[in-house]
A and B are shown apart, each in its own frame.
Chain A
Amino acid sequence: MTVTDTKLEMIVGVFVLVGIAALTYLAVKLGKLEVIGGGNQMEIVAEFNSVAGLKTGATVEIAGVQIGQVKRIGLNGDRAAVLLSLQPGVTVYGDAIASIKTRGLIGDKYVSITPGGSEKLLAPGGKIRDTESGVDLEALIGEFIHGNVK
């Protein structure tokens, strides 16, 4: 092959790589993964009696603004332990309260935090002690249909 052909192939190759990189970036951003720029996220834990449909990747909000996402949901004893990944610079205090809320009435579950402020700042790895669990809509409907012991 001539030098020009090689050069051409190189240019094509570079373009392909750029294209793939761009697509990867797009996929990561859309998929809300933390692969890019995820190094400084602050992680804290919150334990709930029930997370009733909260999914990994769900948004974490303060005052309606997204400031992080749910990284992992596991069990700690018989309580749900939720690992929250927050943007750097978000300040959450010891008296913060984390609540699981629903978008609209039957939408996605998300975590809403009132950050508190009358106690010490939570360090990375800290735990939000006071939580409000999710409402189980099906259970409520069931109680409505079949009546409840209340």
Chain B
Amino acid sequence: MRQYRDFWVVVILAGWLGAGVMIAAPAWAGPPADSVKKTIDEVIRILEDPNLKKPEKKQERRKMLEQIIGQRFNYAEMAKRTLTGEWAKRSPEEQKSFVSDFQTMLINTYIGRIENYSGEKVQYLKELVSDDYAEVRTKIDNGKSVIDIDYRLQKNSEEWRVYDVVVEGTSLVQNYREQFKRILSKESFEALAKQLRKKSEAIKAP
């Protein structure tokens, strides 16, 4: 989980910190790319709002960001995919609790960096759609580095939501899936859930 920090920094930085000079999605972009762009645009709007930059507005702004990101990121689907077969064996309460801790861990790790947004450019490169699944390829440019970020989306009742993020060829879901598998096989689901909760509480966003 620790090594994934860096990827998520990049992911979030990349995905949510567009620039004043954002390159518009090309004409061929369909609903998936539009969905991603809509969320990124909204996040930037919140980050650039001078009124919300005041220190006393910090909590309110954070809540707004979390809400916007939560609308696009399907944390439940991501958590489910990290658990694979184990998911079906857990009770609804355990599943709900797991998703909640997973979400908290991701948010706590990266919301601080999102808030340090400083004008990165987002390029929308390609959109691949197949039935109810899509992949939106983007590139983030902060002047010094260019990073490839692909968003994998799934359509649920007309709404496209992200279920995986691939940074420089490495999948977020795969990363956690392998870590969780190790813990599940060596210990138990209870141990994994406990460790996830501990981790999500330990990372306190600044």
- A residues near B (Cβ < 8 Å) are 49, 93, 95, 97, 99, 114-118, 129-130, 132-133, 135, 149-150
The size class of the interface chain B forms with chain A is: 20 to 34
Does B81 contact A118, Cβ atoms closer than 8 Å? yes
| Candidates B84, B130, B144, B152; contact of A117 at CB < 8 Å | B84
How many A-B pairs have beta carbons closer than 8 Å: the answer is 51
Bitwise, B137-151 to A at CB < 8 A (1) or not (0) is 000000011110000
Does A132 contact B170, Cβ atoms closer than 8 Å? yes
Does A117 contact B85, Cβ atoms closer than 8 Å? yes
Q: List 26 A-B contacts (CB under 8 A).
A: A49-B169, A97-B177, A99-B174, A114-B84, A114-B174, A114-B177, A114-B178, A116-B81, A117-B85, A117-B86, A118-B80, A118-B81, A118-B84, A118-B85, A118-B87, A129-B130, A130-B152, A130-B164, A132-B169, A132-B170, A133-B169, A149-B145, A149-B146, A150-B145, A150-B146, A150-B147
Closest approach, in angstroms, between the C-beta of A104 and any C-beta of chain B?
18
Question: Chain B residues near A93 (CB, 8 Å)?
Answer: 84
Closest approach, in angstroms, between the C-beta of A17 and any C-beta of chain B?
49
Question: Chain A residues near B177 (CB, 8 Å)?
Answer: 97, 114
Given the interface pairs A99-B174, A130-B173, A132-B166, the reply to whether A117 lies near B87 with Cβ below 8 Å is: yes
Given the interface pairs A132-B166, A149-B146, A150-B145, the reply to whether A118 lies near B88 with Cβ below 8 Å is: yes
Starting from the known contacts A114-B174, A150-B144, A150-B145, 10 additional A-B residue pairs (CB-CB under 8 Å) come to: A49-B169, A95-B81, A114-B84, A114-B177, A116-B84, A117-B88, A118-B80, A118-B83, A130-B171, A132-B170
Docked Cα-Cα span, A99 to B81, in Å, equals: 16
Question: Chain B residues near A118 (CB, 8 Å)?
Answer: 80-81, 83-85, 87-88
The closest CB in chain A to the CB of B185 belongs to A63
Docked Cα-Cα span, A129 to B86, in Å, equals: 21
Closest approach, in angstroms, between the C-beta of A9 and any C-beta of chain B?
62
Docked Cα-Cα span, A102 to B40, in Å, equals: 35
Closest approach, in angstroms, between the C-beta of A35 and any C-beta of chain B?
34
Does B166 contact A115, Cβ atoms closer than 8 Å? no
- B residues near A (Cβ < 8 Å) are 80-81, 83-88, 130, 133, 144-147, 152, 164, 166, 169-171, 173-174, 177-178, 181
Question: Chain B residues near A114 (CB, 8 Å)?
Answer: 84, 174, 177-178, 181
Question: Chain A residues near B166 (CB, 8 Å)?
Answer: 132
Q: What 3 A-B pairs come out closest when comparing CB atoms?
A: A117-B85, A117-B84, A150-B145
The closest CB in chain B to the CB of A95 belongs to B81
The closest CB in chain A to the CB of B86 belongs to A117
Docked Cα-Cα span, A114 to B175, in Å, equals: 11
Closest approach, in angstroms, between the C-beta of B50 and any C-beta of chain A?
32
Given the interface pairs A130-B152, A130-B164, the reply to whether A95 lies near B84 with Cβ below 8 Å is: yes
Question: Chain B residues near A95 (CB, 8 Å)?
Answer: 81, 84
Given the interface pairs A97-B177, A150-B147, the reply to whether A135 lies near B169 with Cβ below 8 Å is: yes
Docked Cα-Cα span, A95 to B85, in Å, equals: 10
Closest approach, in angstroms, between the C-beta of B196 and any C-beta of chain A?
17
Closest approach, in angstroms, between the C-beta of A142 and any C-beta of chain B?
15
Docked Cα-Cα span, A149 to B141, in Å, equals: 10
Docked Cα-Cα span, A93 to B80, in Å, equals: 13
Question: Chain A residues near B164 (CB, 8 Å)?
Answer: 130
